[in-house]
Amino acid sequence: MQQRDRILVVAGTLLVLVLALLIGGGVMGPGMMGPGMMAQPRAQVLAPPMPISPEEAVRRANQFLEGYLPRAWAEDPKAFYGYYTLHVLRDGEITGMLSVHGQSGWVWPHTWHGAFIQELELTR
């Protein structure tokens, strides 16, 4: 069985996102998305149904970006516990990330990451 980890190099710091669902929950701390949204590592928690589809998440993200960051667009939605995280691109380059809540459709930019440097995909 292959396991994929995604490593983002952000402002000189390695931020490891384990996308193989090894850790139940997301990469943000408790309280970022409401009570009960972030599970403890290896916890068996069922994700709530998300009426917002990945395609709708991209549409809402791009609608948000029209006013927030003109000439930017979002793509590559990844589903996490109750939300999607998407890359923000400008001039064909990844410039940041944002998330879309899977139930309400609310959009919020990730302003705490710092500058995007590169993304590496590893298989072990």
Which SS3 state, helix, strand or coil, does residue 113 take? Answer: coil
Q: Which of 94, 88, 82 is nearest to 109 (CA)?
A: 88
Give residue-wise pLDDT tens across range 69-124: 999 999 999 999 899 999 999 999 999 999 999 999 999 999 998 888 888 888 88
pLDDT of 29 over the 90 cut:
no
Can you say whether residue 111 is alpha, beta or left, with left for phi > 0 and alpha for psi between -120 and 50 degrees? alpha
User: Is 5:17 a contact under the CB 8 Å cutoff?
Assistant: yes
Domain ranges of the chain: 4-123
What percent of the chain is modeled with pLDDT above 90? Answer: 48
Look up the pTM and report it. 0.62
pLDDT at position 20 is: 29
The whole-angstrom separation of Cα 114 and Cα 13 is 9
